[in-house]
Amino acid sequence: MLGLNKKDLGVLLLVALLAMAAPILLNPFPADSGMAQFNAGYPDLMQRFVIFGIFAIGYNILFGLTGYLSFGHAAFLGVGSYSAVWMMKLLSMNVIPAILLSVIVAGLFSVVIGYVSLRRSGIYFSILTLAFAQMSFNLAYSVLTPITNGETGLQISLSDPRILDGANAPSYPNLFGAQMNSAATIDVGSWSFTFSVGYYLCALLMLVAFYISIRIFRSPFGLMLRAVKSNQQRMNYTGLNTKPYTLAAFVISGMYAGLAGGLLAAMDPLAGAERMQWTASGEVVLMTILGGAGTLLGPVLGAGFIKYFENIFSKINDNVLHGWFSFMPDGIEDFIITIIHPFVGKGWHLTLGLLFMLVVIFLPGGLVEGGQRIGRLFRRKKADTNTPDGTKTPAE
Amino acid sequence: MNILEVKNVNKRFGGLQALGNVNLNVAENTVHAIIGPNGAGKSTLLNCLVGKLIPDTGSVMFDGRSVLGRKPYEINQMGISRVFQTPEIFGDLSVQENMLIPCFAKRDGAFALNGYGSVGSQRDVIDKAEEMLVEMKLADKRHMHAASMSRGDKRRLEIAMCLAQDPRLLLLDEPTAGMARADTNNTIDLLKQIKEERDITIAIIEHDMHVVFSLAERITVLAQGTPLVEDTPDNIKGHPKVREAYLGESQDAA
Ligand SMILES: Nc1ncnc2c1ncn2[C@@H]1O[C@H](COP(=O)(O)OP(=O)(O)OP(=O)(O)O)[C@@H](O)[C@H]1O
Ligand SMILES: [Mg+2]
């Protein structure tokens, strides 16, 4: 079905199911319980999960398949956001033209940057992409202020022309009238679940993006991209021109980044230069490697993992810790909290960094490899106890 | 008819004259060996044929067309395939995927944005790759990681990948270097069989005289970047200049 084999279809359906049920699955704790702060099922955060999922899925097509490590993909994210906001200022608050333009502009932008950067490979390619992204960041901050509104960031305002919108059109990003921030909250007992238009639009686009990435992975084009990573010399002497292959992968991943940037702006109509900074480029590299570069699911997992950390782990402050460890004698309680303190709250980067190191050292295939190992362990146990069917390959 | 004509090719590396006035004609559908001591310029000559190096002067014509100034992938698409001194394969891919790539290159050309259909749905390419795997006795290894094969199998895979493109000229750079005697003999049989079964010209660089005299119809001896003689194997064996420059010790070893 859908041109996918059984295994890939299974993965796609699983992701679809998780994405659709996320508002419920991510809110496992009752709203008034002490654990409620670990609930991630609110629209703003869920949107970030899937938007950065799109960003990482696209980045994985370049880095995971061809091995070209770009340190500048945030530039395309930023360009996507600026384009989307401009579209909402000039044309319409409907997000469709905004998202379309962000993909197109990011695509064009990545043709130029890709064409120049791909003249080199390895570390020189990485440095070139980094230089381009920092250049874009600085331009957005200074010279291009008329377009980017510099430090303040580009915002919508009531005086914008919006030539396609009528007098009664919504003044917030919307999809044919349905506003991105409109949501329905359903209470079940002491649990509370929020379903928002914005999240479901992002989730649907993420599924489309994921589906396209599966098709690319399984296509002859995807095979060629993996060949680029493996041995460019052999490719050249097999009659294959590697340049357009790498450029195509670069542009596709740039368009994914543009889509992600456009969606960020569609959910919250403003765009700032900091979106293009090198830390943002580094983040998508981390997501992809942490989840598992070159695997289908890895980037999605990595994006979710890092965004969860950034938003949830960072909220654990000393008060929360005192609440948790209050059952202990005072001296020990303070001691334990002193030890944990640097790793939580503002120190969440430290924990993430340690986790990242552990994954790179012990699980070079990322979280996906971790999952596969656990899966294999279970299968082997099962095979040992009763069934002989322990040899099936684990799902990706 | 000559399929390959090399005229007055010179190549310098700084102060070193790696190739000096090289002339070489390879007749269609023959096996032509290029021999010579280490550093004679054999690999350099091959590099000039496939676009890896550009000669300082001279001309290289393949099938009546100049190869000079063309990129390696263009020269390959003209019909020249090369097997390297150390096997160049796609180590990260499976043996079957390795085989598929030249088949796609032959069908779709140097670049195709073929991102929609799955690899598995391209029956013609899958069948062609399978045919080659069977012919080269690699079929039982099709799901193996190419990097984990033995050196002999890697070399065989590389030859298979080149043959899958139906090249008109196959260039082999020391295909038996570092091989055990048994593997060397297998390679000789394989190359003989390839030559019998298809219209192909083979140019082979080789140090092992046993291989050279088993396969070659003509031999060019290169020394210090210049062709010393070109003749049939029988005449080369007895040629005093060749014995002096090169053969003496090698024949004892073989
Ligand atoms: N890229 C290069 N730059 C500088 N010098 C080179 C280069 N390639 C080859 N040479 C030199 O040119 C000479 C010829 O080298 P070449 O590799 O063609 O010899 P060969 O006949 O293939 O030898 P072997 O039998 O050892 O493979 C050698 O002296 C080598 O050091
Ligand atoms: Mg050599």
- Asked if B116 and A227 come within 8 Å (Cβ–Cβ), the reply is no
Higher pLDDT, A189 or A64: A64
Does residue A375 form part of some domain?
no
How far, in Å, is the centroid of ligand 2 from the Cα of B85? 7
Buried b (16+ CB within 10 A) or exposed e, A77-91: bbbbbbbbbbbbbeb
Of residues A103 and A392, more confidence is placed in A103
| pLDDT score of B49 more than 80 | yes
Residue B196 lies in a domain: yes
Cβ distance of B122 and A216 shorter than 8 Å: no
Work out how many domains chain A is built from and give that number.
1
The yes-or-no verdict on residue A388 having pLDDT over 50 is: no
Q: Are residues B67 and B181 in the same domain?
A: yes
Q: Confirm whether A136 is domain-assigned.
A: yes
> What angle in degrees, to the nearest 10, is found between the helix axes of A197-218 and A220-230?
70
Ramachandran sector of residue A176 (left: φ over 0; alpha: ψ -120 to 50; beta: rest): left
The number of beta carbons lying within 10 Å of the beta carbon of residue A259 is 30
Contact B113 A230 (CB under 8 A): no
pLDDT (tens digit, 9 = 90+) per residue, A115-137?
A: 999 999 999 999 999 999 999 99
β-bridge pairing A270-271 and B80-83: unpaired
Inside any domain, residue B84? no
Q: Which residues of B touch A229 (CB under 8 A)?
A: 92
Of A180, A194, A349, A161, nearest to A264 (Cα)? A180
Could you tell me the two tokens for A39? 């609930």
Q: CB count, 10 Å around CB of A395?
A: 15
Both B186 and B244 in one domain: the answer is yes
Burial class (CB in 10 A: 0-12, 13-18, 19+), A236: buried
Residue A267 in any domain: the answer is yes
Residues B176 and B156 both lie in one domain:
no
Domain match, B235 and B182 both: yes
CA distance A226 to B113: 14
Indicate the pTM of the whole model. Answer: 0.92
CA–CA gap between residue A142 and residue A147 (Å, rounded): 10
The whole-number pLDDT of residue B250 equals 47
Question: Which amino acid belongs to residue A291?
Answer: G
**pLDDT for A384:** 66
Confidence of residue A386 (pLDDT cuts 50, 70, 90): low
Q: Is residue A286 in some structural domain? A: no
CB contact set of B249 (below 8 Å; sequence gap of 6+): none
Q: A97 with A91: CB under 8 angstroms? A: yes
| Predicted pLDDT at A392 | 40
Does the pLDDT value for residue A361 go beyond 60? Answer: yes
| Domain membership flag for residue A349 | no
Helix axes A74-90, A122-141, angle to 10 degrees: 30
The rounded mean pLDDT for chain B is 91
> Is the distance from CB of A216 to CB of A61 less than 8 angstroms?
yes
Q: CA end-to-end span of chain B, whole Å?
A: 33
CB atoms closer than 10 angstroms to residue A171: 15
pLDDT at A385: 62
CA angle (B160 as vertex; B89, B253 as ends), nearest 5: 85
Residues having CB closer than 6 A to ligand 1 are B 13, 16, 18, 36, 38-44
pLDDT digits (tens, 9 = 90+) for A270-290: 899 999 999 999 999 999 999
A123 in any annotated domain: yes
Residues B107 and B114: beta-carbon distance below 8 Å: no
Tokens of B201: 């010209």
Per-residue pLDDT at A395 exceeds 80 = no
Phi, psi of B185 (to 5 degrees): -65, -40
Domain identity same for B195 and B218: yes
Better-scored residue on pLDDT, A303 or B252: A303
For residue B208, tell me if it sits in a domain.
yes
Burial class of residue B31, CB neighbours in 10 A (0-12, 13-18, 19+): buried
Looking at residue A202, which CATH number applies to its domain? Answer: 1.10.3470
CA atoms of B24 and B128, how far apart (whole Å): 34
Overall average pLDDT of the B129-156 stretch:
93
Residue A262 scores a pLDDT above 90: yes
Domain count, chain B: 2
- Cα B142 to its chain centre, rounded Å, is 23
Q: Give domain status of residue A55, yes or no.
A: yes
Q: Which two tokens stand for residue A2?
A: 């859908």
What is the domain-level CATH number for residue B73?
Answer: 3.40.50.300
Judgement on whether residues B120 and B173 belong to the same structural domain of the protein:
no
In angstroms, the CA A353 to CA A286 distance is 10
Contacts of A7 in chain B (CB under 8 A): none
pLDDT at A389 over 70: no
What Å distances lie between residue B16 and A98, A343, B225, B250, CA to CA? 62, 62, 10, 26
Q: State the alpha helices, DSSP H only, in chain B.
A: 42-50, 72-78, 95-108, 123-135, 151-163, 181-197, 209-215, 233-238, 240-242, 248-253
Rounded Cα distance, A270 and A289, in Å: 29
Measure A366 CA to nearest chain B CA, in Å. Answer: 18
Which residue among B10, B16, B221 is best mutated to probe the pocket of ligand 1, counting the most ligand atoms within 8 A of its Cβ? B16
Q: Are residues B72 and B195 in the same domain?
A: yes
**Phi and psi at residue B215, to the nearest 5°:** -115, -40
Q: Tell if the CB–CB gap between B100 and A235 is shorter than 8 Å.
A: no
B112 lies in some domain? yes
Whether B231 is covered by a domain: the verdict is: yes
pLDDT at A367 over 80: yes
pLDDT exceeds 60 at position B249: no
pLDDT in tens, A157-184: 888 888 888 878 888 999 998 999 999 9
Nearest to A236 among B73, B91, B119 (CB): B73
pLDDT in tens, A13-61: 999 999 999 999 999 999 888 788 889 999 999 999 999 999 999 999 9
Q: Are B74 and B133 contained in the same domain?
A: no
Identify from A5, A234, A251 which residue to disrupt to test chain B contact, counting B C-beta atoms within 10 A and taking the largest count. A234
Q: Which of A307, A340, A274 is nearest to A136 (CA)?
A: A274
The span from the CA of A195 to the CA of A181, in Å, is 10
Q: Which of B24, B42, B174, B208 to mutate to test the pocket of ligand 1 (most atoms within 8 A of CB)?
A: B42
User: Going by C-beta distance under 8 Å and a sequence separation of 6 or more, which residues neighbour residue A376?
Assistant: A394
Query: Residue range B126-145: average pLDDT?
Result: 95
3-class secondary-structure state, position B232: coil
Of B76, B119, B122, the CB nearest to A237: B76
Is B249 part of a structural domain of the chain?
yes
Subunit contact A241:B110, Cβ cutoff 8 A = yes
Contact A230 B91 (CB under 8 A): yes
Positive or negative CA dihedral for B66, B72, B73, B79? Answer: positive
* Closest-CA residue of chain A to B147: A230
**Where among B140, B166, B192 does a domain terminate?**
B166
Residue A36 is predicted with a pLDDT of: 85
CA distance B77 to chain A (A): 5
A32 with A190: CB under 8 angstroms?
Answer: yes
Q: CA B117 from chain center: how many Å?
A: 33
pLDDT tops 70 at residue A387: no
Sheet holding B57-62, edge to edge: B16-27, B2-13, B57-62, B65-66
> Which atom of ligand 1 lies closest to the CA of B14?
4
Residues of chain B found within 8 Å of residue A219, distances taken between Cβ atoms:
114-119
Identify which of A215, A238, A244 has the shortest CB distance to residue B111. A244
Instruction: Specify whether B162 is located in the same domain as B53.
Output: no
pLDDT score, position B177 = 82
A217 lies in which domain range? 6-276
- Find all residues with CB under 8 Å of B207, minimum gap 6, and list them: B35, B174, B177, B250
The average confidence (pLDDT) of chain A is: 91
Residue B138 DSSP SS3 = coil
- pLDDT of the residue at B50: 95
Residue matched to tokens 């079957």: B96
User: For a pLDDT cut of 70, what percent of chain A falls above it?
Assistant: 96
- Tokens representing B227 are 């062709």
Same domain, B65 and B103: no
From the list B73, B93, B122, which residue is nearest A220 (CB)? B122
Question: What domain range is B119 assigned to?
Answer: 89-166
Are B195 and B223 within one domain?
Answer: yes
- Tell whether B72 and B18 lie within a shared domain: yes
* Neighboring chain B residues of A240 at a CB cutoff of 8 Å: 73, 101, 105, 110-111
Question: Please, are residues A155 and A85 in contact by the beta-carbon 8 Å criterion?
Answer: yes
| Helices marked H in A142-241 | 145-148, 197-218, 220-230, 232-236
